[in-house]
A and B are shown apart, each in its own frame.
Chain A
Amino acid sequence: MSPKVNKTLLKMVVNGKAVEVMVNPTWTLLKVLREELGLTGTKKGCEQGDCGACTVLLEGQAVNACLVLALQAEGKEIETIESLGTPECLHPLQKSFIHHGAVQCGFCTPGMLMSAVALLRKNPNPSVEVIKRGISGNLCRCTGYAKIIQAIQNLSAFREEMIQATRD
């Protein structure tokens, strides 16, 4: 019988809301987001930091949630895909992805969007080269990336909304 694991209280801010959750020290941020907080928009892919399906923003930086121990997120601000628009009111990036046909199976999409958000906050008008580098940690098996890159680059139709959204 395995020894009883002592859980630790983890306090962090997720999508603007303060949360408290008891965690096992071995748990990653990914596991806590999905299984303890029910935020399953962030996907579990490789669990080694190779695929980017688990991309979230940690203190504004795009990171692999599978490579953050949950307790390392103590006191930190996390943004997940759930913070990006709502089904009734999509984020301009989401609108652009749909408009450009950049979503097929959708599994890479939350991670792609979070990497794109991080990129656009630093660089609102990135070139194709910069976009490619910005999503180089996110694998897509379906689309061949071209439409994803276009969706990120051609935000002008959604530009005004975009500026407003990133300021919020």
Chain B
Amino acid sequence: MQHFQFYSAKSLGDALRFLSEKGERTKIIAGGTDLIPKLREENSRPEFVLNILEIERLSGITELNHILRIGSTTTHAQLVESEILQRSCPSLVQAAASVGGPLIQNRGTIGGNIANASPAADLAPALLTLDAEVVLMSEKGTRVVALQDFFIGPGKTVLNPNELLVEISIPLPKGQTIFLKLGRRQAMTLSIVNVAVCLEMEGRNCRNAKIAMGSVAPTPIRCPQAEILLVDKEIDPELISKCAGEAMAMSKPLDDQRAKAWYRVQAGAVLLRRALLQAAGLRNE
């Protein structure tokens, strides 16, 4: 690895001060599961690596006034074990449990999964259907960005070099949430396609629908044209198939080393159909 200097921030203020001076030349490390392999690459040469794992303020899951707040250094394992999340956002728990394996889940963080901004990021589709917002802080102030607006391309986000992703906030969801992932194996696999849905049902009638997909576009995406097909409608398998088809029509998948684009379109539609049927109560797992 190219040489860098290591600094462990003792507090949030400490980290923000560091980033305001040196942010452009710094890589932030939390779990390191994405960063450390990248640091081994020739063209990665940060001058500084800033460790944020010692900042207590950044970890933990709380609920206040119907808003869930998840600290950015909360690990995937902590998301999986969280009773609040198991009760209120099962899709986020399912997504976290699908990332890597236990060793990766014990270190990798929600903030890292988001900030790394892989189009295949597994937490992203779940968070998109939960209307998640990210809280970004710098010495100059705080801004809150809807997750939809946070990703701008593969590995690219609106995070400024002087900013730190501090927290993810999620309004307590009202519907059934499901996350499904297709990979080449059952663990330790990047997604070929991943989907998340949130359906608010009243009997067979859908009051509200949110659909998101990953690995089928330059960023994880919501599918509003597909969502509209379900709102205020009686849900049945035929409508769900139509909706899944519409969502795939919106996607822009690529051929890559994991799968061809045509396969992603077909498999994505299957995954979406299953997720929607499950969320609508028309299918058991």
- Are A25 and B5 in contact, CB atoms less than 8 angstroms apart? yes
- Are B29 and A64 in contact, CB atoms less than 8 angstroms apart? no
What is the CA–CA distance of A167 and B80 in the complex, to the nearest angstrom? 26
Contacts A49-B33, A69-B32, A69-B51 given; does A26 touch B3 at CB 8 Å: yes
Indicate with 1 or 0, residue by residue over A33-67, a CB within 8 angstroms of chain B CB atoms.
00000000000000111101001001001111011
Cβ of A50 to closest chain B Cβ, rounded Å? 6
- Are A137 and B102 in contact, CB atoms less than 8 angstroms apart? yes
What is the CA–CA distance of A136 and B188 in the complex, to the nearest angstrom? 7
What is the CA–CA distance of A63 and B39 in the complex, to the nearest angstrom? 19
Indicate with 1 or 0, residue by residue over A114-128, a CB within 8 angstroms of chain B CB atoms.
010011000000000
B5, B32, B37, B187: the one contacting A137 at CB < 8 Å is: B187
* Pair count A-B, CB < 8 A: 92
What is the CA–CA distance of A133 and B100 in the complex, to the nearest angstrom? 11
**Number of B residues, CB within 8 Å of A:** 29
What is the CA–CA distance of A134 and B101 in the complex, to the nearest angstrom? 8
B32, B49, B51, B102: the one contacting A134 at CB < 8 Å is: B102
A156 within 8 A of B: no
A74 within 8 A of B: yes
Dominant SS at the B interface? Answer: loop
- Are B102 and A62 in contact, CB atoms less than 8 angstroms apart? yes
Which residue of the partner chain B has the closest CB to A57? Answer: B106
- Are A49 and B53 in contact, CB atoms less than 8 angstroms apart? no
What is the CA–CA distance of A49 and B53 in the complex, to the nearest angstrom? 19
Contacts A25-B5, A69-B36 given; does A62 touch B104 at CB 8 Å: no
B1 within 8 A of A: yes
- Are B100 and A49 in contact, CB atoms less than 8 angstroms apart? yes
A13 within 8 A of B: no
Residues in B whose Cβ lies below 8 Å from that of A68: 32, 107
- Are B6 and A69 in contact, CB atoms less than 8 angstroms apart? yes
Cβ of B137 to closest chain A Cβ, rounded Å? 22
B31 within 8 A of A: yes
Which residue of the partner chain B has the closest CB to A47? Answer: B40
- Are A136 and B6 in contact, CB atoms less than 8 angstroms apart? no
A28, A55, A71: the one contacting B8 at CB < 8 Å is: A71
A8 within 8 A of B: yes
B262 within 8 A of A: no
Residues in B whose Cβ lies below 8 Å from that of A137: 100-104, 187-188
Which residue of the partner chain B has the closest CB to A48? Answer: B37
What are 30 A-B contacts with C-beta separation under 8 Å? Answer: A2-B3, A25-B3, A25-B5, A25-B49, A26-B2, A26-B3, A26-B39, A47-B40, A49-B33, A49-B100, A49-B104, A63-B103, A64-B103, A64-B104, A64-B107, A68-B107, A69-B29, A69-B49, A72-B29, A72-B32, A72-B51, A74-B8, A115-B102, A118-B102, A133-B102, A134-B102, A136-B101, A136-B188, A137-B103, A138-B103
Q: Which A residues form the contact surface with B (CB < 8 A)? A: 2-3, 5-6, 8, 24-26, 28, 47-50, 52, 55, 58, 61-64, 66-69, 71-72, 74, 115, 118-119, 133-134, 136-138
